[in-house]
Structure 1
Amino acid sequence: MASQKSTAILSAGSGQAKSPQRARGHARVAALLEAASIEFAEKGYDGATMTAIAARAGSSIGSLYQFFPTKDQIAGALVENYLNMLAETFRKLSEAAPTLDLSLLASRLTRTFLKFRETHPAFVALVETYSYALPGTVSIRERLRGEIESVLAAVAPHLAPAEITVRAAVIQQIMKGAVAINGDTSIAGRKAAIDELEGLMQHYLHEVIKLSR
Protein backbone atom coordinates (compact mmCIF):
# COMPACT_ATOMS: atom_id res chain seq x y z
CA MET A 1 0.00 0.00 0.00
CA ALA A 2 3.02 2.30 0.04
CA SER A 3 2.81 5.07 -2.53
CA GLN A 4 4.38 5.06 -5.97
CA LYS A 5 6.02 8.10 -7.52
CA SER A 6 3.52 10.26 -9.32
CA THR A 7 4.67 10.89 -12.86
CA ALA A 8 1.74 13.27 -13.25
CA ILE A 9 3.29 15.64 -10.74
CA LEU A 10 6.78 15.52 -12.22
CA SER A 11 5.51 16.08 -15.74
CA ALA A 12 3.53 19.19 -14.91
CA GLY A 13 3.72 21.93 -17.50
CA SER A 14 5.26 21.84 -20.96
CA GLY A 15 8.82 21.71 -22.21
CA GLN A 16 11.55 19.17 -21.64
CA ALA A 17 13.45 19.51 -18.40
CA LYS A 18 17.16 18.68 -18.34
CA SER A 19 18.15 16.03 -15.82
CA PRO A 20 21.38 16.75 -13.92
CA GLN A 21 24.13 14.26 -14.78
CA ARG A 22 26.92 15.30 -12.41
CA ALA A 23 27.29 16.32 -8.80
CA ARG A 24 27.56 19.97 -9.82
CA GLY A 25 24.27 19.75 -11.67
CA HIS A 26 22.55 18.06 -8.74
CA ALA A 27 23.84 20.80 -6.43
CA ARG A 28 22.50 23.46 -8.78
CA VAL A 29 19.07 21.81 -8.91
CA ALA A 30 19.05 21.56 -5.11
CA ALA A 31 19.84 25.28 -4.86
CA LEU A 32 17.08 26.14 -7.34
CA LEU A 33 14.55 24.04 -5.45
CA GLU A 34 15.53 25.61 -2.13
CA ALA A 35 15.18 29.08 -3.63
CA ALA A 36 11.81 28.13 -5.11
CA SER A 37 10.59 26.79 -1.77
CA ILE A 38 11.34 30.14 -0.10
CA GLU A 39 9.77 32.09 -2.96
CA PHE A 40 6.57 30.01 -2.96
CA ALA A 41 6.33 30.17 0.84
CA GLU A 42 6.65 33.95 0.84
CA LYS A 43 4.60 34.85 -2.26
CA GLY A 44 2.42 31.84 -3.01
CA TYR A 45 2.25 30.06 -6.34
CA ASP A 46 0.75 32.98 -8.27
CA GLY A 47 3.09 35.60 -6.82
CA ALA A 48 6.32 33.65 -7.37
CA THR A 49 8.20 34.26 -10.60
CA MET A 50 10.92 32.34 -12.37
CA THR A 51 13.08 35.48 -12.42
CA ALA A 52 12.83 35.85 -8.64
CA ILE A 53 13.59 32.16 -8.09
CA ALA A 54 16.72 32.36 -10.25
CA ALA A 55 17.89 35.53 -8.50
CA ARG A 56 17.31 34.03 -5.07
CA ALA A 57 19.38 30.99 -6.07
CA GLY A 58 22.18 33.18 -7.47
CA SER A 59 21.62 31.55 -10.85
CA SER A 60 20.92 32.80 -14.34
CA ILE A 61 17.39 32.54 -15.66
CA GLY A 62 18.76 30.42 -18.49
CA SER A 63 20.15 27.89 -16.06
CA LEU A 64 16.80 27.70 -14.28
CA TYR A 65 14.98 27.10 -17.57
CA GLN A 66 17.42 24.32 -18.44
CA PHE A 67 16.30 22.28 -15.47
CA PHE A 68 12.76 23.61 -15.05
CA PRO A 69 11.27 25.10 -18.25
CA THR A 70 8.08 26.22 -16.47
CA LYS A 71 6.96 27.33 -13.03
CA ASP A 72 4.60 24.35 -13.00
CA GLN A 73 7.55 22.00 -13.28
CA ILE A 74 9.60 23.44 -10.44
CA ALA A 75 6.48 23.56 -8.26
CA GLY A 76 5.72 19.96 -9.20
CA ALA A 77 9.26 18.87 -8.37
CA LEU A 78 8.98 20.50 -4.95
CA VAL A 79 5.64 18.82 -4.25
CA GLU A 80 7.13 15.48 -5.27
CA ASN A 81 10.04 16.02 -2.88
CA TYR A 82 7.66 16.86 -0.06
CA LEU A 83 5.51 13.81 -0.74
CA ASN A 84 8.60 11.62 -0.68
CA MET A 85 9.57 13.12 2.69
CA LEU A 86 6.11 12.38 4.04
CA ALA A 87 6.26 8.87 2.60
CA GLU A 88 9.50 8.27 4.47
CA THR A 89 7.93 9.56 7.68
CA PHE A 90 5.02 7.16 7.27
CA ARG A 91 7.35 4.29 6.32
CA LYS A 92 9.23 4.69 9.59
CA LEU A 93 5.96 4.97 11.47
CA SER A 94 4.67 1.78 9.81
CA GLU A 95 7.78 -0.08 10.91
CA ALA A 96 7.52 1.16 14.48
CA ALA A 97 3.73 1.08 14.82
CA PRO A 98 3.30 -2.55 16.01
CA THR A 99 5.54 -1.88 19.01
CA LEU A 100 4.34 1.63 19.86
CA ASP A 101 2.04 2.43 22.72
CA LEU A 102 -1.34 3.29 21.22
CA SER A 103 -1.32 6.77 22.75
CA LEU A 104 2.04 7.52 21.09
CA LEU A 105 0.86 6.18 17.73
CA ALA A 106 -2.25 8.36 17.99
CA SER A 107 -0.13 11.41 18.80
CA ARG A 108 2.20 10.87 15.88
CA LEU A 109 -0.62 10.35 13.41
CA THR A 110 -2.67 13.30 14.66
CA ARG A 111 0.26 15.70 14.40
CA THR A 112 2.13 14.46 11.30
CA PHE A 113 0.50 16.88 8.83
CA LEU A 114 0.57 19.67 11.39
CA LYS A 115 4.31 19.38 12.04
CA PHE A 116 5.19 18.95 8.38
CA ARG A 117 3.30 22.06 7.35
CA GLU A 118 5.04 24.06 10.07
CA THR A 119 8.50 23.02 8.85
CA HIS A 120 7.72 23.17 5.11
CA PRO A 121 5.64 26.30 4.47
CA ALA A 122 6.05 26.05 0.69
CA PHE A 123 4.16 22.76 0.80
CA VAL A 124 1.23 24.62 2.31
CA ALA A 125 1.31 27.29 -0.39
CA LEU A 126 1.54 24.78 -3.23
CA VAL A 127 -1.05 22.32 -2.00
CA GLU A 128 -3.54 25.12 -1.38
CA THR A 129 -3.25 26.26 -5.02
CA TYR A 130 -2.72 22.83 -6.55
CA SER A 131 -6.33 22.32 -7.53
CA TYR A 132 -6.19 25.02 -10.18
CA ALA A 133 -2.50 25.64 -10.80
CA LEU A 134 -1.14 22.14 -11.21
CA PRO A 135 -2.50 18.71 -12.14
CA GLY A 136 -2.77 15.77 -9.77
CA THR A 137 -4.65 17.12 -6.75
CA VAL A 138 -6.35 13.78 -6.22
CA SER A 139 -3.03 11.97 -6.43
CA ILE A 140 -1.74 13.94 -3.42
CA ARG A 141 -4.69 12.93 -1.27
CA GLU A 142 -4.56 9.36 -2.51
CA ARG A 143 -0.84 9.00 -1.98
CA LEU A 144 -1.03 10.27 1.57
CA ARG A 145 -4.04 8.07 2.28
CA GLY A 146 -2.06 5.12 0.93
CA GLU A 147 0.68 5.84 3.46
CA ILE A 148 -1.89 5.89 6.26
CA GLU A 149 -3.21 2.56 4.99
CA SER A 150 0.29 1.13 5.39
CA VAL A 151 0.34 2.19 9.05
CA LEU A 152 -3.07 0.64 9.63
CA ALA A 153 -2.03 -2.59 7.91
CA ALA A 154 0.93 -2.80 10.28
CA VAL A 155 -1.19 -2.52 13.44
CA ALA A 156 -4.31 -4.30 12.15
CA PRO A 157 -2.94 -6.94 9.75
CA HIS A 158 -6.14 -9.01 9.72
CA LEU A 159 -8.37 -6.14 8.64
CA ALA A 160 -9.71 -6.48 5.10
CA PRO A 161 -8.11 -4.14 2.53
CA ALA A 162 -11.44 -2.46 1.78
CA GLU A 163 -11.95 -1.79 5.48
CA ILE A 164 -8.43 -0.39 5.80
CA THR A 165 -9.17 2.02 2.95
CA VAL A 166 -12.29 3.32 4.70
CA ARG A 167 -10.58 3.61 8.08
CA ALA A 168 -7.58 5.38 6.55
CA ALA A 169 -9.90 7.99 5.03
CA VAL A 170 -11.35 8.72 8.48
CA ILE A 171 -7.89 8.97 10.05
CA GLN A 172 -6.78 11.29 7.26
CA GLN A 173 -9.67 13.62 8.07
CA ILE A 174 -8.75 13.64 11.77
CA MET A 175 -5.18 14.56 10.80
CA LYS A 176 -6.47 17.35 8.55
CA GLY A 177 -8.72 18.48 11.38
CA ALA A 178 -5.66 19.12 13.54
CA VAL A 179 -4.29 21.34 10.77
CA ALA A 180 -7.58 23.22 10.47
CA ILE A 181 -7.86 23.82 14.21
CA ASN A 182 -4.26 25.00 14.44
CA GLY A 183 -4.91 27.56 11.71
CA ASP A 184 -8.16 28.86 13.18
CA THR A 185 -7.18 31.83 15.32
CA SER A 186 -10.77 32.23 16.50
CA ILE A 187 -10.34 29.12 18.67
CA ALA A 188 -8.91 30.25 22.00
CA GLY A 189 -7.90 26.78 23.16
CA ARG A 190 -6.38 25.41 19.99
CA LYS A 191 -3.84 23.24 21.81
CA ALA A 192 -6.55 21.73 23.99
CA ALA A 193 -8.72 21.10 20.94
CA ILE A 194 -5.87 19.29 19.17
CA ASP A 195 -5.31 17.23 22.32
CA GLU A 196 -8.99 16.28 22.14
CA LEU A 197 -8.52 15.17 18.53
CA GLU A 198 -5.55 13.08 19.64
CA GLY A 199 -7.77 11.37 22.20
CA LEU A 200 -10.34 10.75 19.46
CA MET A 201 -7.63 9.25 17.28
CA GLN A 202 -6.53 6.94 20.07
CA HIS A 203 -10.07 5.72 20.65
CA TYR A 204 -10.60 5.18 16.93
CA LEU A 205 -7.35 3.24 16.56
CA HIS A 206 -8.32 1.08 19.51
CA GLU A 207 -11.61 0.20 17.82
CA VAL A 208 -9.87 -0.51 14.49
CA ILE A 209 -7.33 -2.82 16.09
CA LYS A 210 -10.06 -4.58 18.08
CA LEU A 211 -12.00 -5.23 14.87
CA SER A 212 -8.98 -6.87 13.24
CA ARG A 213 -8.65 -9.55 15.93
Structure 2
Amino acid sequence: MASRNASHSDDDVRADAKAPRRERGRARVAALLEGAGAEFAEKGFDAATMTAIAARAGASIGSLYQFFPTKDVLADALLEAYLATLMEGLGQLREAAPTLDVATLAHRLTRALVAFRAAHPAFAPLVETPGRSLPAVVGVRERIRAEIAAVLRAKAPGMKAAEAQVRAAVVQQLMKAAVAIQSEASFAHRGAVIDDLERVMMRYLDETFGDPGAGASRGKR
Protein backbone atom coordinates (compact mmCIF):
# COMPACT_ATOMS: atom_id res chain seq x y z
CA MET A 1 0.00 0.00 0.00
CA ALA A 2 2.98 2.28 0.30
CA SER A 3 2.67 3.19 -3.32
CA ARG A 4 -0.72 4.72 -2.66
CA ASN A 5 0.95 7.44 -0.61
CA ALA A 6 2.86 8.59 -3.68
CA SER A 7 1.70 11.36 -5.96
CA HIS A 8 -0.38 10.42 -8.98
CA SER A 9 -1.58 12.27 -12.03
CA ASP A 10 -4.87 14.14 -11.77
CA ASP A 11 -6.49 11.58 -14.08
CA ASP A 12 -6.08 8.66 -11.68
CA VAL A 13 -6.34 10.52 -8.37
CA ARG A 14 -8.83 13.34 -8.18
CA ALA A 15 -11.69 11.57 -9.92
CA ASP A 16 -11.56 8.67 -7.44
CA ALA A 17 -12.31 10.64 -4.29
CA LYS A 18 -15.59 9.56 -2.75
CA ALA A 19 -18.01 12.04 -1.22
CA PRO A 20 -20.05 10.63 1.70
CA ARG A 21 -23.80 10.58 1.16
CA ARG A 22 -25.02 9.65 4.63
CA GLU A 23 -24.51 11.19 8.05
CA ARG A 24 -22.45 8.21 9.17
CA GLY A 25 -20.14 8.62 6.21
CA ARG A 26 -19.79 12.36 6.83
CA ALA A 27 -18.88 11.67 10.46
CA ARG A 28 -16.27 9.16 9.32
CA VAL A 29 -14.76 11.64 6.88
CA ALA A 30 -14.66 14.30 9.60
CA ALA A 31 -12.78 11.87 11.86
CA LEU A 32 -10.35 11.01 9.07
CA LEU A 33 -9.67 14.68 8.37
CA GLU A 34 -9.13 15.34 12.08
CA GLY A 35 -6.68 12.44 12.22
CA ALA A 36 -4.90 13.74 9.15
CA GLY A 37 -4.63 17.20 10.68
CA ALA A 38 -3.00 15.81 13.82
CA GLU A 39 -0.57 13.67 11.79
CA PHE A 40 0.42 16.45 9.39
CA ALA A 41 0.84 18.92 12.25
CA GLU A 42 3.14 16.57 14.15
CA LYS A 43 5.16 15.04 11.31
CA GLY A 44 4.69 17.27 8.26
CA PHE A 45 3.34 16.16 4.91
CA ASP A 46 6.24 14.01 3.74
CA ALA A 47 6.69 11.97 6.93
CA ALA A 48 2.97 11.43 7.55
CA THR A 49 1.60 8.05 6.47
CA MET A 50 -1.87 6.92 5.57
CA THR A 51 -1.57 4.05 8.07
CA ALA A 52 -0.82 6.44 10.94
CA ILE A 53 -3.64 8.76 9.87
CA ALA A 54 -6.14 5.89 9.86
CA ALA A 55 -4.94 4.83 13.31
CA ARG A 56 -5.37 8.34 14.69
CA ALA A 57 -8.91 8.42 13.32
CA GLY A 58 -9.72 5.00 14.78
CA ALA A 59 -10.52 3.76 11.27
CA SER A 60 -9.30 0.96 9.06
CA ILE A 61 -6.86 1.74 6.29
CA GLY A 62 -9.47 0.49 3.83
CA SER A 63 -11.97 3.01 5.11
CA LEU A 64 -9.41 5.79 4.65
CA TYR A 65 -8.65 4.76 1.08
CA GLN A 66 -12.36 4.45 0.36
CA PHE A 67 -12.75 8.21 0.75
CA PHE A 68 -9.21 9.42 0.03
CA PRO A 69 -7.28 7.23 -2.44
CA THR A 70 -3.95 9.01 -1.86
CA LYS A 71 -2.27 11.23 0.68
CA ASP A 72 -2.36 14.09 -1.82
CA VAL A 73 -6.14 13.88 -2.11
CA LEU A 74 -6.48 13.76 1.67
CA ALA A 75 -4.19 16.75 2.18
CA ASP A 76 -6.03 18.67 -0.51
CA ALA A 77 -9.40 18.04 1.13
CA LEU A 78 -8.07 19.04 4.54
CA LEU A 79 -6.55 22.25 3.22
CA GLU A 80 -9.76 23.17 1.42
CA ALA A 81 -11.64 22.66 4.69
CA TYR A 82 -9.17 24.91 6.50
CA LEU A 83 -9.44 27.58 3.84
CA ALA A 84 -13.22 27.46 3.98
CA THR A 85 -13.03 28.12 7.73
CA LEU A 86 -10.60 31.00 7.25
CA MET A 87 -12.68 32.54 4.46
CA GLU A 88 -15.80 32.23 6.57
CA GLY A 89 -14.10 34.10 9.42
CA LEU A 90 -12.89 36.86 7.12
CA GLY A 91 -16.33 36.98 5.54
CA GLN A 92 -17.90 37.57 8.94
CA LEU A 93 -15.38 40.35 9.54
CA ARG A 94 -16.29 41.86 6.17
CA GLU A 95 -19.96 41.90 7.15
CA ALA A 96 -19.18 43.51 10.50
CA ALA A 97 -16.59 45.99 9.15
CA PRO A 98 -18.99 48.91 8.45
CA THR A 99 -19.99 49.02 12.13
CA LEU A 100 -16.53 48.51 13.64
CA ASP A 101 -14.26 51.33 14.74
CA VAL A 102 -10.72 51.28 13.38
CA ALA A 103 -9.20 50.08 16.66
CA THR A 104 -11.45 47.03 16.76
CA LEU A 105 -10.90 46.26 13.09
CA ALA A 106 -7.14 46.53 13.56
CA HIS A 107 -7.28 44.20 16.55
CA ARG A 108 -9.28 41.56 14.72
CA LEU A 109 -7.19 41.70 11.55
CA THR A 110 -3.85 41.61 13.37
CA ARG A 111 -4.80 38.51 15.31
CA ALA A 112 -6.96 36.69 12.76
CA LEU A 113 -4.18 34.55 11.27
CA VAL A 114 -2.55 33.99 14.67
CA ALA A 115 -5.79 32.53 16.02
CA PHE A 116 -6.42 30.54 12.85
CA ARG A 117 -2.93 29.00 12.79
CA ALA A 118 -3.22 28.09 16.47
CA ALA A 119 -6.52 26.33 15.85
CA HIS A 120 -5.25 24.59 12.69
CA PRO A 121 -1.58 23.68 13.20
CA ALA A 122 -1.49 21.48 10.10
CA PHE A 123 -2.22 24.44 7.83
CA ALA A 124 1.39 25.64 7.66
CA PRO A 125 2.93 22.23 6.86
CA LEU A 126 0.44 21.71 4.04
CA VAL A 127 0.89 25.15 2.50
CA GLU A 128 4.63 25.45 2.98
CA THR A 129 5.85 21.95 2.07
CA PRO A 130 8.58 22.47 -0.58
CA GLY A 131 7.77 21.02 -3.95
CA ARG A 132 4.08 20.44 -3.25
CA SER A 133 1.53 21.76 -5.72
CA LEU A 134 -1.80 20.72 -4.30
CA PRO A 135 -4.75 22.38 -6.05
CA ALA A 136 -5.89 23.91 -2.76
CA VAL A 137 -2.49 25.57 -2.31
CA VAL A 138 -2.65 27.38 -5.62
CA GLY A 139 -3.71 30.94 -5.04
CA VAL A 140 -4.01 30.66 -1.24
CA ARG A 141 -2.34 34.02 -0.63
CA GLU A 142 -4.36 35.62 -3.41
CA ARG A 143 -7.63 34.29 -1.98
CA ILE A 144 -6.81 35.60 1.48
CA ARG A 145 -5.69 38.97 0.09
CA ALA A 146 -8.88 39.29 -1.95
CA GLU A 147 -10.99 38.72 1.14
CA ILE A 148 -8.97 41.28 3.10
CA ALA A 149 -9.53 43.74 0.25
CA ALA A 150 -13.26 43.04 0.54
CA VAL A 151 -13.09 43.82 4.27
CA LEU A 152 -11.43 47.16 3.53
CA ARG A 153 -13.96 48.07 0.84
CA ALA A 154 -16.80 47.14 3.16
CA LYS A 155 -15.42 49.67 5.62
CA ALA A 156 -14.73 52.23 2.87
CA PRO A 157 -17.20 51.57 0.01
CA GLY A 158 -15.69 54.33 -2.11
CA MET A 159 -12.27 52.70 -2.21
CA LYS A 160 -11.19 51.66 -5.69
CA ALA A 161 -10.44 48.00 -6.32
CA ALA A 162 -6.81 48.63 -7.24
CA GLU A 163 -6.19 50.63 -4.06
CA ALA A 164 -7.90 47.95 -2.00
CA GLN A 165 -5.55 45.32 -3.42
CA VAL A 166 -2.49 47.39 -2.50
CA ARG A 167 -3.80 48.16 0.98
CA ALA A 168 -4.80 44.54 1.50
CA ALA A 169 -1.28 43.39 0.64
CA VAL A 170 0.15 45.63 3.38
CA VAL A 171 -2.46 44.42 5.88
CA GLN A 172 -1.71 40.83 4.93
CA GLN A 173 2.00 41.32 5.59
CA LEU A 174 1.27 42.74 9.04
CA MET A 175 -0.96 39.75 9.76
CA LYS A 176 1.80 37.40 8.63
CA ALA A 177 4.32 39.24 10.79
CA ALA A 178 2.11 38.56 13.81
CA VAL A 179 2.05 34.86 12.87
CA ALA A 180 5.82 34.78 12.45
CA ILE A 181 6.55 36.32 15.85
CA GLN A 182 3.95 34.12 17.54
CA SER A 183 5.75 31.05 16.17
CA GLU A 184 8.97 32.02 18.01
CA ALA A 185 8.16 30.06 21.15
CA SER A 186 11.50 30.89 22.77
CA PHE A 187 10.95 34.64 22.51
CA ALA A 188 9.51 35.91 25.80
CA HIS A 189 8.11 39.17 24.41
CA ARG A 190 5.85 37.85 21.67
CA GLY A 191 2.73 39.41 23.15
CA ALA A 192 4.30 42.86 23.35
CA VAL A 193 5.48 42.67 19.74
CA ILE A 194 2.02 41.63 18.52
CA ASP A 195 0.53 44.52 20.51
CA ASP A 196 2.92 46.87 18.70
CA LEU A 197 1.98 45.33 15.35
CA GLU A 198 -1.64 45.99 16.21
CA ARG A 199 -0.82 49.65 16.82
CA VAL A 200 0.97 49.78 13.46
CA MET A 201 -2.10 48.19 11.85
CA MET A 202 -4.39 50.73 13.51
CA ARG A 203 -2.37 53.69 12.29
CA TYR A 204 -2.22 52.26 8.79
CA LEU A 205 -5.98 51.72 8.75
CA ASP A 206 -6.54 55.23 10.09
CA GLU A 207 -4.58 56.55 7.11
CA THR A 208 -6.34 54.13 4.77
CA PHE A 209 -9.78 55.31 5.84
CA GLY A 210 -8.80 58.97 5.84
CA ASP A 211 -8.66 59.67 9.56
CA PRO A 212 -4.93 60.07 10.31
CA GLY A 213 -5.48 61.86 13.59
CA ALA A 214 -7.63 59.21 15.21
CA GLY A 215 -4.87 56.67 15.62
CA ALA A 216 -2.87 58.78 18.03
CA SER A 217 -5.75 59.14 20.43
CA ARG A 218 -6.89 55.53 20.22
CA GLY A 219 -3.32 54.31 20.58
CA LYS A 220 -3.43 55.51 24.20
CA ARG A 221 -6.18 53.11 25.21
TM-score where L is the length of structure 1: 0.88
Q: Which moved more, 1:160-169 or 1:179-188?
A: 179-188
Change in CA separation of 1:209 and 1:12 when aligned onto 2, cut-off 3 Å: farther
What aligned pairs does 1:79-94 form with structure 2 within 5 A after superposition? 79-94=79-94
Cα displacement (A) at 1:128: 2.2
Letter in 1 for 2:107: S
Counterpart position of 1:8:
none
- Whole-angstrom CA distance in 2 between matches of 1:185 and 1:92: 30
Change in CA separation of 1:178 and 1:140 when aligned onto 2, cut-off 3 Å: same
Query: Structure 1, residues 82-123: CA drift from partner, whole Å, max 9, x if none?
Result: 111011111111111111121111010001001111111111
Q: 2:210 aligns to what SS in structure 1?
A: helix
Alpha carbons 2:72, 2:134 under 8 Å: kept: no
- Whole-angstrom CA distance in 2 between matches of 1:54 and 1:185: 30
Alpha carbons 1:72, 1:134 under 8 Å: kept: no
Cα displacement (A) at 1:27: 1.2
- Whole-angstrom CA distance in 2 between matches of 1:12 and 1:37: 25
Counterpart position of 1:4:
none
Alpha carbons 1:72, 1:133 under 8 Å: kept: no
Query: Structure 1, residues 36-90: CA drift from partner, whole Å, max 9, x if none?
Result: 1111111111111001111221222121111101101111111101111011111
Cα displacement (A) at 1:183: 1.9
Alpha carbons 1:145, 1:168 under 8 Å: kept: yes
- Whole-angstrom CA distance in 1 between matches of 2:121 and 2:27: 22
Cα-Cα RMSD = 1.8
Cα displacement (A) at 1:159: 0.9
- Whole-angstrom CA distance in 2 between matches of 1:168 and 1:13: 38
- Give the total of aligned pairs: 200
Q: 1:171 aligns to what SS in structure 2?
A: helix
Between the aligned residues of both structures, percent identity stands at: 58
Counterpart position of 1:189:
189
User: Greater CA radius of gyration, 1 or 2?
Assistant: 2
Runs of 4 or more, structure 1, over 6 Å off, are none
Change in CA separation of 1:13 and 1:119 when aligned onto 2, cut-off 3 Å: farther
- Whole-angstrom CA distance in 2 between matches of 1:107 and 1:72: 36
Cα displacement (A) at 1:148: 0.4
Counterpart position of 1:143:
143
What aligned pairs does 1:58-207 form with structure 2 within 5 A after superposition? 58-129=58-129, 131-136=130-135, 137-185=137-185, 187-207=187-207
Q: 2:72 aligns to what SS in structure 1?
A: helix
Letter in 2 for 1:154: A
TM-score where L is the length of structure 2: 0.85
Specify every segment of 5 or more residues in structure 1 that has no aligned partner in the other structure, as ranges. 1-10
- Whole-angstrom CA distance in 2 between matches of 1:71 and 1:13: 13
Letter in 1 for 2:132: A
Q: Which moved more, 1:58-67 or 1:183-192?
A: 183-192
- Whole-angstrom CA distance in 1 between matches of 2:131 and 2:54: 24
Cα displacement (A) at 1:184: 2.7
Higher helix share: 1
Specify every segment of 5 or more residues in structure 2 that has no aligned partner in the other structure, as ranges. 1-9, 212-221
What aligned pairs does 1:7-86 form with structure 2 within 5 A after superposition? 14-15=13-14, 16-86=16-86
